[in-house]
Amino acid sequence: MKLTLTFTLLLGCLFPNFLCAEDSAVLDIGNRRELFVDDYLIDKMQNTRLALHRPQDEGIAFSFDHPWEGLFAGYCTIIKDGSNYMAYYRGMPAIGHTKDNEITCIAQSKEGIHWTKPKLGLFEIRGSKKNNVILARHRACHNFSPFLDKNPNAKKSERFKAMGGTGKPGLIAFTSPDGIHWNEVQKAPVITKGAFDSQNVSFWSETEGCYVCFFRVFKDGFRRISRCTSDDFLHWSEPVLMEYRHRGGKAPIEHLYTNQTQPYFRAPHLYVATAARFMPGRQVLTDEQAKAINVNPKYFKDTSDAIFMTTRGGNIYERTFLSSFVRPGIGARNWVSRTNYPALNVVQTGPVEMSVYVNQDYAQPTAHLRRYSMRLDGFASVQAPYAGGELLTKPLRFSGNQLKINFSTSAAGGIRVEIQDAAGKPIPGFRLADSREQIGNEIERVVTWKAGSDLSKLAGKTVRLRFLIKDADLFAIQFAK
């Protein structure tokens, strides 16, 4: 044993990467919540699969029915600030990207379900200040995209920040104390290398310790996404083109009109992207169908839907699921150009529920924002059929003394958990035979074995988790106290 340790240390001195490489194979997840939306935790699966879960249609949140909002309202952002919800969006009643035609509006809610439009009195629009406009006569109104700054060093007067602008000269930075009254940080743009003719999103990254911005570029004729970072929201790094990966290989390049990348609010180290996929020239409606729904003649010769991606920092999006996240609905209104675009941010709207909002009926008199609901953490799951299956994680370390799971089973289904050592040997007391079957449907269930749930003696050690799953979905895990 002593000889082996001496030899290992000698290798570490001669080859500094030797110890690091061995250690890097172990995932240190601490007490983070980890979702099964990619292959990050997964080593092996047998008769199980990663399954994407589509949100449930909850109907219209609110319509773009004010005269200054109209057919071409869009590029929505949803922000939850404590018990207050705010929906920001572009008002654009007619075609034409002009300062007089585009404005930025706001709707408000106490639970994210029922919305009102305040009369703020900030800008005179069509001869009156009785409106919900927070920004007007500024080129940033085309795609104004705000966020609630989670930077612990952010000034109270700058709790909210935003980006907006298209083409040249670039993106303008804004700040606000309340999300209503906005000021330019400076006249000059802060990011200049990009196309920007879409919703360009930014946020404070807790894990990267900096501001991150994802924005529109064009590459080889495709609408693509680049990202850059900043320590102060003013000085930004050189843009880096985002690439797409699918289960270890390359993912197809498709037009992604908006990227809607955001830190998931229950696991901010994981960025989820509810992006809009645009299919130019993929016409579904006939001229007669388009006329019947009164869609603008220039906006029914393409189709679009929503997809789901993830990234954990860097320039790679994981496109684990190539299929759509939100499919176009039944009826001609859902099959026109630039509709079905998700708003930025998924937010919690109930004790066990979160919602994503989708811009629909674009370029039509019925244009509106629609709400879709999911269970918390419910983007995707490890799913097993009635016959049962297994999941084995990669080696990992954790902190805490309990394992919690977000799961759903049938009446006949269940989940059992075995904890193994680094070599894959079951640990006494936490073997499959010691595991109590977990049956039910809960967001946070503490896993137990015959001796109880205390995992204190395993914290900080390298272990693997083996899940036996029958007719069930496993959405997320978290070690906690």
CB burial readout 240-266, b (16+ within 10 A) else e: eebebbeeeeebeebbbbbbbbbbbeb
Does 9 score more than 60 pLDDT? no
Neighbours of 462 (CB within 10 A): 18
Q: What is the pLDDT of residue 14?
A: 37
Domain boundary among 375, 410, 437: 375
Reading phi first (left if > 0) and then psi (alpha if -120 to 50, else beta), residue 157 is in alpha
Q: What is the CATH number of the domain that holds 319?
A: 2.115.10.20
- Do residues 110 and 35 share a domain? no
Crossing angle (nearest 10°) for helices 17-24 and 2-14: 110
- Do residues 341 and 236 share a domain? yes
Q: What is the CATH number of the domain that holds 442?
A: 2.60.120.260
- Do residues 49 and 68 share a domain? no
- Do residues 269 and 384 share a domain? no
User: Is 142 inside any structural domain?
Assistant: yes
Q: What is the pLDDT of residue 23?
A: 53
Burial class (CB in 10 A: 0-12, 13-18, 19+), 386: exposed
Domain boundary among 309, 342, 375: 375
Most distant CA pair in the chain, distance:
86
User: Is 11 inside any structural domain?
Assistant: no
Quick one: pLDDT band at residue 1, thresholds 50, 70, 90? very low
User: Is 75 inside any structural domain?
Assistant: yes
User: pLDDT tens digits for 38-74?
Assistant: 999 999 999 999 999 999 999 999 999 999 999 999 9
- Do residues 360 and 304 share a domain? yes
- Do residues 319 and 411 share a domain? no
Contact 143, 200 (CB under 8 A): yes
- Do residues 145 and 66 share a domain? yes
What H or E segment, with its residue span, contains residue 201?
strand 201-205
Contact 377, 266 (CB under 8 A): yes
Residue type, 109: S
User: Is 9 inside any structural domain?
Assistant: no
Q: Is the dihedral of CA 353, 357, 191, 132 positive or negative?
A: negative
Tell me which of 6-15, 378-387, 416-425 is least confident: 6-15
Q: What is the pLDDT of residue 100?
A: 76
* Number of domains the chain contains: 2
Give the whole-angstrom CA distance, residue 372 versus residue 348: 12
Give the whole-angstrom CA distance, residue 1 versus residue 12: 17
pTM for this model (two decimals): 0.93
- Do residues 138 and 281 share a domain? yes
Give the whole-angstrom CA distance, residue 148 versus residue 176: 10
Domain boundary among 375, 404, 423: 375
User: pLDDT tens digits for 138-180?
Assistant: 999 999 999 999 999 999 999 999 999 998 899 999 999 999 9
- Do residues 309 and 214 share a domain? yes
- Do residues 390 and 415 share a domain? yes
User: Is 13 inside any structural domain?
Assistant: no
What range defines the domain where residue 270 resides?
A: 56-375
- Do residues 236 and 357 share a domain? yes
User: Is 61 inside any structural domain?
Assistant: yes
User: Is 247 inside any structural domain?
Assistant: yes
User: Is 2 inside any structural domain?
Assistant: no
- Do residues 34 and 87 share a domain? no
Give the whole-angstrom CA distance, residue 95 versus residue 193: 26
Residue type, 196: F
